[in-house]
Structure formats: C-alpha cells, structure tokens
Amino acid sequence: MKLRKNLFLSKEAVEQGQRQAAAAGIKLSRLVEKRLLAGAPSEGLAADYWDKPGKPINRPGDARYEYLKAKHA
C-alpha cells in the first residue's frame, strides 16, 4: 500500500534526484523509496548532521540572531 507524505527538500536535492531518476528511467518517488529501503546511508549523509549543538555564531545586526539571543538570555 502506498501512502502520500509531504517532504521538504532543498532545491538542489530535488534537481539532483530528478536527474538521477530520469537517468534510471523511474519517477523521483520510486528513487526515494528505493534509497530508503536499501538501508545503507549514503556516504555524505552523516556529514550533514551534528551530534551536539554548537554555540551560535555571533552575528550582530542580524535580526534573527538578535531575536534568539534576547529570547534565550
């Protein structure tokens, strides 16, 4: 049974996925399904995530930084 889910991906990830799916002659959703069911994470996947959060970079004047700094002070 197939289920419909919303995924939020970067524009680059979608473009690359569409190219890979076209080269394989399949749809993007089938490519994603095959990769997820394969079980082996891609080589670069772990580098995209951190195990511990770091200190924020000081960005004076950046509205988002200033808001979060005041919120969590």
Any idea where the domains of the chain sit in the sequence? 9-42
Looking at per-residue pLDDT, the higher value among 19 and 65 belongs to: 19
Q: What is the pLDDT, as a whole number, of residue 52?
A: 73
Q: What is the pLDDT of residues 22-72, one digit of tens each?
A: 999 999 999 999 888 887 655 555 666 666 777 777 888 889 888 888 888
pTM of the complete model: 0.51
pLDDT for residue 40: 61
Amino acid at position 45, single letter: L
C-alpha distances out from residue 40 to 36, 45, 65, Å = 8, 10, 37
Per-residue pLDDT, 14: 94
- Nearest residue to 45 via CA among 53, 36, 34: 36
pLDDT of residue 53: 72
